[in-house]
Structure 1
């Protein structure tokens, strides 16, 4: 079984127009099997900071150890992060930056990605660094406040390579779900 095939059981209670003899509303329960999401909230921000940490590590290495110009050090850190990220993700499932945030990279089978797969994933992370600017509007006590917000697409390389960035604490749950056979039908339950 693969992570992309795992379904998660959700029961949704929807109110009806009927009431029971005690005056309590009657609800219908609908059971759904939705796609399992191994990710976590805020992973885009943590992944971005982890990538910046890895780049800062290599920039400092090139600057202090090899006495390169700071701009050249930053430029050299990009391919270094891509190659070292591919190596460390294929062996350990993480990079130094991801280790700080306790994140692991796994493929669709729950294993660490192969080197070539991880190299492709890390090369595609360059597309993640280009921001998207969106307009937002918030309400204040005086009226409305509008502004521009910068977002990063930190999911693109994972989507293309079918990999997942998960918390280390969730690895046990994912591996146990991969061993369990998933149900295939949707049923309606009345309560």
Structure 2
């Protein structure tokens, strides 16, 4: 956690009323995160194409981040997930990350929390050695972080999505060069809770 905090220390807001901290998500954040996502995106969020790549999967190691207010409450969230971004002409899978969802509590909008989460996520993905991040989102917002449609032209989401919202950022130059096909989930599967045996 120290490395993450060192890398995002600049993302603290200067005023006490607007102060926030970017931190790693921990197991006690699950309920707060899910409630935040339901409020921000609606209960229909689980029907989105990108959800098919996240369902029953575990986020990439070290890449589930939250923003906390001065009381430690979760006021923002972003997670990144292992995927294969199509295959190369030689038939090799292209490992990458899928970002999302990114959400900030409406009561804390306009404080730069979303941008801080994005910068922290990109920085941590680079530090972990990942080659590219893909997402589905509003291009005018994500372009400021370097995301474009240029690298997704030969890639396809596994369900309905608008091409102009399918974006990518290469963390290593040429990482997605020649990659084509449908995105597939490649992350570790979530372990199911063991069933209790009847006495």
Q: Same fold (TM over 0.5)?
A: no
Q: Find the structure with the greater CA-based Rg.
A: 1
User: How does the TM-score come out when normalised to structure 1?
Assistant: 0.20
Considering fraction of residues, name the structure with more helix. Answer: 1
Larger RCO: 1 or 2 (CA < 8 Å, sep 6+): 1
